[in-house]
Amino acid sequence: MCVLMLGDHTTLSILLGRLICVPSPISYQSFPPLPPILRDEPEVLEELLGTNRSVLFFGHRGFLGFRSLYLDEYRDRLFIGGKDVLYSLLLDGASADAKETDCANYVRVLHPYNRTHLLACGTGAFHPMCTFIYVGYRGEHTFSLDPASVETGRGRCPHEPSRAFASTVIGGELYAGLTADFLGRDPGVFRSMGTRSALRTEVDQRLLHDPKFVAAHLIPDNDDRDNDKAYFFFTEKVVEADSKEHAIVSRVGRVCVNDAGGQRVLVNKWSTFNKARLVCSVPGPGGIDTYFDELEDVFLLRTKDGKSPEIYALFSTVSHVFQGSAVCVYRMADIREVFNGPFAHRESPHHQWGAYEGRVPYPRPGVCPSKTTNQPRRQYSTTKDFPDEVLHFARAHPLMYKPVYPRHRRPLLVKTDLPHRLRQLVVDRVEAEDGQHDILFLGTDAGSVLKVVVMQKTSSAMTEEIILEELQVFKMPVPITQMEISVKRQTLYVGSSLGVAQVRLHQCESYGTACAECCLARDPYCAWDGTACTHYQPSGKRRHRRQDAHHGNPAHQCLDQNLTVDDFESVEEKVLYGAEDNSTFLECVPRSPQASVQWFVQRPPDEQRDEVRLPCTCSRCGDMGEMSGQTWTLPTPRWSTGEDGRADPADGARAAFPQAAPARRRHLLLQNAGARLHPDRGQDCPARDRQRAAGTHLPPGARG
């Protein structure tokens, strides 16, 4: 086992520059020659390249070993921690010189510490260590490490690169939920650094039983800073009274920021730690619910005052029989109500849990010392002033009796039909013509990101989920381990073990060149402005603006945009001609999950048309091959207006409008864009997985 000691010989790998594809690991030679269809038809290649909206970064030497990410919009920089390296990348512009030094760590902790420094901690070859990185004030492009600031990272950073943990910096102190020892047997919630003495939870399975920490956040209760609390989201094992098997449940725990531990009891231990169960379940028949107990990720949709964020939590099932994922939304008012409710109590591990019905000492365990806890004859300026009775009760009753239920007591989103597992979640609240919509970006374990909008149905409390896009971000099917969103820049930053990608949140122009195409997309980011499908601007001109994210009804929205009802009821064909030994590009993946495309072949002089059975649902180029003189036709659907006023296709295809509303398309499939189509083959698609992993990068100078 190698041991890294940071000292005078330690250097920190730094790269100052724009987030770009580095030429050394990503070069034109890494791609096969362009197929004939792309060489001979430059407009097809231009369209394919135009669909690319991401820039990828794999490190200065082509390997990143990504572990942590911090988006600093104040300094316009992105900090990336990987194996043996920490990068600082400018979000705008590029530095003329790249500064570089060396280091050997999996950098797992990256937090802003003050106005000029970052706190960075790494595994240190199983000897965690932390240091401060000077990044300067806004506008300064400085990035340096002070070797004298290196100190132990025990209780601040995990020993292993892959072990789950969560941390945040509050008032110059690091709050971390992790396992503090090499063997993983010492889990706890820790507070370190700063001027106060360090705190941690006791080693007691009643407090934490094999936890997996997911997120940590500061959420104030009110304007009194003495009531500020740090919230931890995690899973842990529980043992029921009637079973010897361990079950997994999700929790939310909290501690007071001004907790100082006890004077005689719980010395240097948390005295305000409480936890409650997070429930995310689908109601079933007979009162039997389907539970999603494995917490994967948490995202806080902040409000202006910061006191009542909406908490979006991504869950998965732990059952071997049923596999699925769900997103539940929690309100802070409901969480606080549970923590102010009854404590859980049982006489022994063989008894069932019940609500504690005895006398609860004062100040109530879990309450922060503040002016509200003071009494005329007794001042509680710190937790060290709390009576021993309060601390003994807090030690014996860390769990709240009632669970925290999500909004409407049901998940916002449930997915059980996905071939991959959802791992990461970020949310953007978008202002649209018909109100606000929450856009969910869901990272998978296959290197892709789902862009989903959930619509509330007007006739009931049920919701409708629409997958707007599926973006294959990385070439290989690797799990996405972290995502950050910049609403200011309309950009998503996606991290995996391969590298970090910068992806635009929307690409409205790819939805087509007609009002109906833009409307059918149902993307709240996009609207028809009278001439093109563009990014929706609430403050823009409204005269020609058309958008209907809730219904996607082009018949109602686009009748005054050079369209009539007859246009929706007519049938139009796109005809392509093929010759022997020639290739013709066929668009076989619709530009929207609400769309479908059919191709028919006609053999002159016969007027009969036979439907082409595509080998698989992949974007491909058609090869006429031996079928010379064939005509390939693409029918446009007939549209009729349903009883609810929405446009429905008369032939049963939801949105087979020509190039209708793109979505759920692979991000960029350049390598296989010229694959040949043989309609007489079977339906198996052995190349599909290779195509998914195809070039997500472009040759230098070819970025869209």
Residue 311 lies inside a defined structural domain of this protein: no
Q: Are residues 132 and 275 in the same domain?
A: no
Give residue 19's pLDDT. 28
| pLDDT winner (highest mean) among 282-286, 479-483, 679-683 | 479-483
Higher pLDDT, 507 or 319: 507
Q: Shortest CA distance to 204 belongs to which of 398, 386, 387, 344? A: 398
**DSSP string spanning 490-554?**
TEEEEEESS-EEEEES--GGGG-SSHHHHHHH--TTEEE-SSSEEE--TTS--SS-B--TTT--H
Residue 357 lies inside a defined structural domain of this protein: yes
Give residue 14's pLDDT. 33
Give residue 97's pLDDT. 34
Which residue, 100, 123, 153, sits at the end of a domain? 153
| pLDDT single digits (tens) 221-231 | 999 999 999 99
Higher pLDDT, 191 or 417: 191
| Residue 695 token pair | 């070039």
Q: Are residues 223 and 270 in the same domain?
A: yes
Q: Are residues 149 and 203 in the same domain?
A: no
Domain count, the chain: 2
Give residue 696's pLDDT. 28
Lowest mean pLDDT among 335-349, 451-465, 527-541, 596-610: 596-610
Give residue 246's pLDDT. 77
Residue 69 lies inside a defined structural domain of this protein: yes
Q: What angle do CA 452, 456, 462 make, to 5 degrees?
A: 105
- Bridge partners of 629, per DSSP, are none
The answer to whether the CB of 156 falls within 8 A of the CB of 144 is: no
Q: Are residues 228 and 196 in the same domain?
A: yes
Say which amino acid occupies 351: H
- Bridge partners of 482, per DSSP, are 495
Residue 646 lies inside a defined structural domain of this protein: no
Checking if the pLDDT of 374 tops 90, the result is: no
Give residue 244's pLDDT. 65
Give residue 103's pLDDT. 38
Return d(Cα 216, Cα 219) in angstroms, integer. 10
Give residue 411's pLDDT. 95
Give residue 114's pLDDT. 92
Which residue, 384, 404, 424, sits at the end of a domain? 404
Checking if the pLDDT of 647 tops 70, the result is: no
> CA 503 → CA 79, 213, 223, 262, 493, distances in Å?
16, 27, 37, 49, 6
Phi and psi at residue 390, to the nearest 5°: -65, -45
How buried is residue 559: exposed, middle or buried, by Cβ count under 10 Å (0-12/13-18/19+)? Answer: middle
Checking if the pLDDT of 619 tops 80, the result is: no
Return d(Cα 199, Cα 642) in angstroms, integer. 64
Q: Shortest CA distance to 58 belongs to which of 99, 32, 89, 97? A: 89
Q: Are residues 85 and 199 in the same domain?
A: no
Q: Are residues 126 and 170 in the same domain?
A: no
Give residue 397's pLDDT. 97
Which residue, 100, 134, 153, sits at the end of a domain? 153
Give residue 542's pLDDT. 67
Return d(Cα 205, Cα 551) in angstroms, integer. 51
Residue 184 lies inside a defined structural domain of this protein: yes
Residues 6+ apart with CB under 8 A from 613: 679, 683
Residue 549 lies inside a defined structural domain of this protein: no
Lowest mean pLDDT among 77-86, 160-169, 617-626: 617-626
Q: What angle do CA 572, 575, 581 make, to 5 degrees?
A: 165
Checking if the pLDDT of 613 tops 60, the result is: yes
Lowest mean pLDDT among 183-197, 451-465, 637-651: 637-651
Checking if the pLDDT of 3 tops 60, the result is: no
Give residue 214's pLDDT. 98
Q: How many helical (H) and strand (E) elements, i.e. helices and strands, does the chain have?
A: 8, 43
Lowest mean pLDDT among 50-54, 109-113, 279-283, 550-554: 50-54
Return d(Cα 70, Cα 66) in angstroms, integer. 12
CATH of the domain at 339: 2.130.10.10
Q: In the chain, pLDDT over 90 holds for what percent of residues?
A: 44
The answer to whether the CB of 643 falls within 8 A of the CB of 619 is: no
Q: Are residues 231 and 340 in the same domain?
A: yes
Q: Are residues 149 and 172 in the same domain?
A: no
pLDDT band of 452, cuts 50, 70, 90:
very high
Phi and psi at residue 348, to the nearest 5°: -160, 170
Checking if the pLDDT of 23 tops 50, the result is: no
Give residue 407's pLDDT. 94
Return d(Cα 142, Cα 600) in angstroms, integer. 61
Q: Shortest CA distance to 680 belongs to which of 632, 628, 625? A: 625
* Overall average pLDDT of the 193-203 stretch: 94
| pLDDT single digits (tens) 24-42 | 232 222 334 445 544 455 5
Residue written as tokens 């309100």? 331
Q: Are residues 195 and 215 in the same domain?
A: yes
| pLDDT single digits (tens) 383-392 | 999 999 999 9
Lowest mean pLDDT among 27-36, 301-310, 497-506: 27-36
Q: How crowded is residue 79: how many other Cβ atoms within 10 Å of its Cβ?
A: 23
Higher pLDDT, 512 or 494: 494
| pLDDT winner (highest mean) among 232-236, 372-376, 579-583 | 232-236
Return d(Cα 124, Cα 122) in angstroms, integer. 5
The answer to whether the CB of 219 falls within 8 A of the CB of 253 is: no
Specify the DSSP class assigned to residue 643.
T
Q: Are residues 173 and 273 in the same domain?
A: yes
Higher pLDDT, 382 or 694: 382
pLDDT band of 421, cuts 50, 70, 90:
very high
Higher pLDDT, 199 or 694: 199
Say which amino acid occupies 315: F
pLDDT band of 593, cuts 50, 70, 90:
low
Residue 129 lies inside a defined structural domain of this protein: yes
- Bridge partners of 687, per DSSP, are none
Q: What is the CA radius of gyration of the chain?
A: 29
Return d(Cα 308, Cα 331) in angstroms, integer. 7
Give residue 539's pLDDT. 76
pLDDT band of 318, cuts 50, 70, 90:
confident
> CA 212 → CA 40, 208, 648, distances in Å?
54, 10, 47
Checking if the pLDDT of 354 tops 90, the result is: yes
Give residue 505's pLDDT. 96
Residue 227 lies inside a defined structural domain of this protein: yes
Q: How crowded is residue 687: how many other Cβ atoms within 10 Å of its Cβ?
A: 15
**DSSP string spanning 73-117?**
TTTTEEEEEEBTEEEEEESSS--SS-------SBEEEEEE-SSSE
* Overall average pLDDT of the 190-219 stretch: 96
> CA 627 → CA 577, 623, 635, 675, 677, distances in Å?
11, 9, 21, 17, 12
Higher pLDDT, 190 or 144: 190
Q: What angle do CA 6, 9, 12 make, to 5 degrees?
A: 70
- Whole-number average pLDDT of the chain: 76
Half-sphere exposure (Cβ direction) of 199: Cα atoms closer than 13 Å: 27
126 phi-psi bin (left φ>0, alpha ψ -120 to 50, beta other): left
Return d(Cα 546, Cα 600) in angstroms, integer. 33
Q: Are residues 188 and 226 in the same domain?
A: yes
Q: Are residues 231 and 196 in the same domain?
A: yes
State which residues form the domain around 112. Answer: 1-10+64-153
Q: Shortest CA distance to 617 belongs to which of 596, 637, 602? A: 596
Give residue 33's pLDDT. 46
The answer to whether the CB of 613 falls within 8 A of the CB of 605 is: no
Q: Shortest CA distance to 59 belongs to which of 30, 29, 89, 93? A: 89
Residue written as tokens 């990987």? 82
Residues 6+ apart with CB under 8 A from 321: none
